[in-house]
Structure 1
Amino acid sequence: MTLRLMTAILSLGLLTATSAWAAPTVGQPAPAFRALDTRGQPVQLSDFRGKHVVLEWVNPGCPFVRKHYGGNMQATQQSATDRGVVWLTISSTEPASADYKKPADLGAWMASQKARATATLMDDDGKVGRAYGARTTPHMYVIDPQGTLVYAGAIDSRPTARVSDIEGATNYVRQALDELLAGKPVSTPVTQAYGCSIKYMNAG
């Protein structure tokens, strides 16, 4: 097999994967899902119909996640949940990855960080992450009470792993929730997510 042919095959595979993982469109219904939390309890999106919901993809081994868990993510979570917003943190890291944490370990890590998420969900097979087109940790989504996806993208406007860059950054999730809870449309509904690539289980 020639190098050119191999390159063409790989490119086709990448395009196919990209198409298969196409993110849902903001303004359309958020994909339904069901997953177990770190305590083994089932959680499904439909449980929270009528509420605003935030989805956050997490990997404790990622420096971008650690940047925001220096206090920024917890403060954003608390600001949301104090106002009745449901916050679901999701791990789509495959069990074979060195970054994988078992449910009890991930739950303990969240507790050690004083996280304010409503629930932390295990997505070992990556079905939830793929349904949303989640690619990085963190990757953030906001769903309105009607079940419509109204925000998708980054936690904030400074795509670095430096804690010092949090100050002065626009927190897109907080901004979106502030606007929604005030009865306004989300002014910045889509941004480019940044962080570590999610280590998905091989779909093949």
Structure 2
Amino acid sequence: MKTFKVIVMLMVVATISAFTIHNSQGYKVGDVASDFKLKNVDGTMVSLADYKEAKGFIVVFTCNMCPYSVANEDRIIALDKKYKEKGFPVIAINPNDPEVSKGDSFEGMKVRAKEKGFTFPYLFDEGQKVYPMYGATKTPHVYILSKQDDKLIVEYIGAIDDSSRNENNVKERFVEDAVNALLKGEKPSKTDTRAIGCSIKDKRNW
């Protein structure tokens, strides 16, 4: 009986964690974002400055192990395929500490990227310096940036769409709507949504 109660409590905590909005000290919509340089799964170092012709970026904090991230992988690939040639490539970042989440090592990232055929950079936030700067709290957590006068402006923060686990239930595609608006020279009608997923694994917080 005691074991059953413990299991129930752990399930409740996990559910609350997935759906809770955490206040962060990171970027807000309208802020100027800083660039970064992180290692890609192919061993190269990647920064946003490398993309000279880009109009902006779809920055996605994601990982190998979180079921919410896994459920969104095909959608992330589709976003890159749809918008990369239009000037908004996907840049995926794994923010997890592999000492806390064993399956989120750099070697594990290389395996996952190959298995899924990622068409975008999959970067490792070694030392966990970038995700706090952005204020990401979940995997997945999306930040859409636009280039304006050599600055990176945060245009949208939140979820990919309105169905965190089942793409068949999607009714509103937040990221697509936001990028489509930016491509037309307009501001997104919805700029903040709730990111639903697993909490980022940082041993400083565990």
Range of TM-score over shorter length: 0.7 to 0.9
SS at match of 1:140: strand
Q: Does 1:59 align with 2:73?
A: no
The number of residue pairs the alignment matches comes to: 181
1-side partners of 2:184 and 2:131: how far apart? 29
Percent of matched pairs sharing the same residue: 25
SS at match of 1:202: helix
Deviation, 1:161, is 2.4
SS at match of 2:147: coil
2-side partners of 1:99 and 1:150: how far apart? 33
Provide the alpha-carbon RMSD of the alignment: 2.2
Tell me which amino acid in the other structure corresponds to 2:72: H
Deviation, 1:124, is 2.7
Tell me which amino acid in the other structure corresponds to 2:81: Q
2-side partners of 1:186 and 1:99: how far apart? 37
CA 156–104 in structure 1, closer or farther in 2 if over 3 Å, else same: same
Which string of whole-angstrom CA distances, capped at 9 and with x for unpartnered residues, describes residues 157-202 of structure 1? 23x423442xx32121111111111111111111111101110242
Runs of 4+ in 1 over 6 A off after TM superposition: none
Which residue of 1 is the match for residue 190 of structure 2? 188
Tell me which amino acid in the other structure corresponds to 1:46: A
Which residue of 2 is the match for residue 176 of structure 1? 178
Q: Does 1:84 align with 2:93?
A: no
SS at match of 1:36: strand
| TM-score, reference length from structure 2 | 0.79
Which residue of 2 is the match for residue 132 of structure 1? 134
2-side partners of 1:62 and 1:186: how far apart? 28
1:24 aligned to which of 27, 31, 54: 27
Which residue of 1 is the match for residue 156 of structure 2? 151
SS at match of 1:112: helix
Superposition pairs of residues 83-102 of structure 1, within 5 angstroms:
83-102=86-105
SS at match of 1:148: strand
1-side partners of 2:38 and 2:194: how far apart? 26
The answer to whether the 8 Å contact 1:143/1:151 transfers is yes
The runs of 5 or more residues in structure 2 that have no matched partner are 1-21
CA 203–72 in structure 1, closer or farther in 2 if over 3 Å, else same: closer
CA 97–203 in structure 1, closer or farther in 2 if over 3 Å, else same: closer
Deviation, 1:203, is 7.0
